[in-house]
A and B are shown apart, each in its own frame.
Chain A
Amino acid sequence: DTGVSQNPRHKITKRGQNVTFRCDPISEHNRLYWYRQTLGQGPEFLTYFQNEAQLEKSRLLSDRFSAERPKGSFSTLEIQRTEQGDSAMYLCASSLGTNQPQHFGDGTRLSIL
């Protein structure tokens, strides 16, 4: 049983650099979600895909953030011109349907120097 896979696990970069994270959902799941979690807080929703269509975007997702899910399989989240405030854990989740549990990957921890 393959769960949600995220790469890399950790990313350290300098302020102003671009970073890209990858998420591979559970294979039969057509819904994919990105969340951001800062220390001591619960995850906050960023964006949601159903198959390849990006259906929801949070106001947290500034124009420096972009997400794609080509062909409805894996997804990438790119942050351009990173800022100190972008330091967080970025979590990806997938589900079979709206009322089905979202299953999370182990996350990518981003640290901005």
Chain B
Amino acid sequence: AQKITQTQPGMFVQEKEAVTLDCTYDTSDQSYGLFWYKQPSSGEMIFLIYQGSYDEQNATEGRYSLNFQKARKSANLVISASQLGDSAMYFCAMRDQITSGSRLTFGEGTQLTVNP
């Protein structure tokens, strides 16, 4: 069963606008963590932001914020004021305590293109 679903294979945004990348997850665990990573064409995986299942506030890191809706099991990434350098593949990942232990389970990714 798919544990992480990213329904947008590709997204386009104009420079300086905000964009939301969708992520839904499936777990029966109460304790879990959600992560977003950026992978530019050069290949390295860059950690962006983390949300714990017990965190009451939505996580924010600079221009990145996470719209965490626990009841809907969604953890969407919001990038504000997009820059050309934000063009990359973005992966949502989850770690849940019981079924996956320490491993991360990744979605299939969303390719974001920022247009000038």
Q: Which residues of A approach B to under 8 Å, CB–CB?
A: 31, 33, 35, 40-45, 48, 50, 55-56, 58, 89, 91, 93, 98-99, 101-107, 109
Contact = CB atoms under 8 A, between A and B. Distances in A.
B98 interface: no
Nearest to A95: B102
B25 interface: no
Interface of B: 4, 33, 35, 37, 42-47, 50, 52, 91, 93, 95, 100-109
Contact of A55 (B4, B42, B102): B102
Contact of B104 (A55, A102, A105, A106): A102
B106 A42 contact: yes
Contact of A106 (B43, B91, B107, B109): B43
Given A41-B108, A99-B33, A101-B35, A48 B44 contact: no
A50 B102 CA distance: 10
B106 A102 contact: no
Contacts of B105: 45
Contacts of A42: 4, 91, 93, 106-109
Contact of A101 (B47, B107, B108): B47
A23 to B, nearest CB: 13
A48 B102 contact: yes
A7 to B, nearest CB: 14
Chain A contact surface mostly: strand
Contacts of A91: 45
A48 B103 contact: yes
Contacts of B4: 42
A107 to B, nearest CB: 6
Nearest to A47: B103
Nearest to B33: A99
Nearest to A45: B103
B115 to A, nearest CB: 22
A71 B13 CA distance: 47
Contacts of B106: 42-44
A107 B42 CA distance: 10
